[in-house]
């Protein structure tokens, strides 16, 4: 795959710019490398139950196989659920390396999230991700001193992209957490000329109008993945390349929902969305994300450990009623 940088040709004493720059060829190759249905899982980071909540990368091989068995096709490392904001650069490199190695063993497309407020750290992690064979890198925008314009955001992202070209770049659009309240569609429009390395967006925003504008204009040229619930609402606005499941164990219901919708059986797809709500309600009742971390003890025997401070630990008295509640809704008997 050739570099995205334009080649300058000397002809008759004149400098002529090859304006095509093979960008369209690069983009098509990059899109072809992405699974046709991009079902993104942003895994929890496993920690040991010790004083520092040290990393427990030994369980990632099992986690990767579990994700693939559920139907996940894309891994997004060190996201918000993965608590990237509590981890050192070296820790994030370790997680990225474990997921690239084990994700590829399970035919998973691995996006290494390297975003941070420190640009040089992001570049360092991006270079490491490229060196270990990540399929792409991704970044949140700076979230303390936030960019005031899209051009400022692109300048930040471009420094990361150029450091690892021709590796694709994904943007982590999560304005509720970063307070960078741009429209994703406006970013895609500006990036078409100034940031051609941008291949996709993880869309974690309740702005359905913005999502509609994205899929109407950029669905054929970018990997657009929708996160908010209900997932079903995005189908009518325009199906992207896939979805941000966050949790791998919700892949089966999304696959069924997506299939029924495409087959014109909208009532059946609504049933799947209703089931997703019922399962999520059980988790919410017994600790939300803390409960979700602990359900893997039943799914595959993996203990992900406690979250890092300042988050409280899981209340063990909730474990048995949580499992019983999930069994009542058929959570452990999913097929697709």
Q: What is the pLDDT of residues 1-57, one digit of tens each?
A: 444 544 323 333 333 334 345 689 999 999 999 999 999 999 999 999 999 999 999
What pLDDT score was predicted for residue 22?
65
Neighbours of 85 (CB within 10 A): 14
Q: pLDDT category, 336, cuts 50, 70, 90? A: confident
Three-state DSSP state, 17 = strand
Mean pLDDT value across residues 98-112: 98
Q: Where do the DSSP E strands lie in the chain?
A: 8-11, 14-17, 38-41, 74-77, 109-113, 136-139, 169-173, 198-203, 223-226, 242-246
Report the mean per-residue pLDDT for the chain.
93
The pLDDT value recorded for residue 278 is 98
The pTM for the full model equals 0.93
Integer-rounded Cα Rg, in Å, for the chain is 20
Asked if residue 216 has pLDDT above 90, the reply is yes
Give yes or no for residue 222 having a pLDDT over 90.
yes
What whole-number distance in Å separates Cα of residue 213 and Cα of residue 219?
10
- Helix axes 60-70 and 251-262, enclosed angle (nearest 10): 20
From CA 199, how far away is CA 1, in angstroms rounded?
Answer: 15
Instruction: Give 233-289 pLDDT, tens digit per residue.
Output: 999 999 999 999 989 999 999 999 999 999 999 999 999 999 999 999 999 999 999
């Amino acid at each position: 795959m050739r570099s995205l940088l334009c080649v300058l040709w000397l002809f008759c004493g004149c400098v002529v710019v090859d304006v095509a720059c093979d960008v369209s060829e690069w983009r098509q190759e990059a899109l072809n490398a992405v699974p046709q249905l991009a079902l993104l899982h942003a895994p929890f980071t496993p920690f040991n139950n010790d004083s520092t909540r040290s990393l427990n990368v030994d369980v990632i091989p099992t986690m990767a196989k579990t994700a693939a068995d559920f139907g996940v096709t894309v891994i997004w490392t060190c996201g918000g659920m993965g608590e990237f904001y509590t981890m050192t650069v070296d820790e994030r490199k370790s997680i990225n390396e474990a997921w690239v190695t084990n994700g590829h063993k399970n035919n998973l497309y691995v996006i290494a999230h390297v975003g941070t407020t420190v640009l040089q750290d992001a570049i360092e992690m991006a270079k490491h991700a490229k060196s270990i064979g990540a399929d792409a890198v991704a970044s949140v925008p700076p979230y303390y001193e936030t960019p005031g314009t899209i051009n400022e955001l692109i300048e930040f992202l471009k420094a990361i992209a150029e450091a690892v070209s021709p590796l694709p770049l994904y943007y982590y659009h999560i304005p509720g957490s970063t307070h960078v309240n741009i429209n994703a569609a406006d970013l895609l429009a500006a990036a078409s000329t100034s940031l051609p390395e941008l291949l996709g967006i993880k869309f974690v925003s309740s702005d359905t109008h913005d999502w509609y504008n994205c899929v109407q204009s950029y669905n054929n040229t970018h990997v657009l993945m929708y996160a908010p619930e209900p997932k079903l609402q995005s189908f009518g606005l325009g199906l992207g390349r896939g979805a941000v499941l966050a949790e791998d164990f919700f892949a089966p219901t999304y696959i069924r929902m997506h299939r029924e919708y495409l087959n014109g059986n909208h009532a059946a797809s609504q049933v799947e969305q209703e089931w997703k709500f019922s399962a999520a309600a059980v988790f919410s009742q017994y600790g939300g994300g803390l409960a979700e971390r602990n359900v893997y003890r039943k799914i595959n025997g993996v203990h992900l450990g406690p979250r890092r401070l300042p988050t409280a630990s899981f209340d063990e008295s909730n474990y048995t009623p949580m499992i019983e509640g999930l069994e009542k809704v058929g959570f452990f008997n999913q097929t697709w």
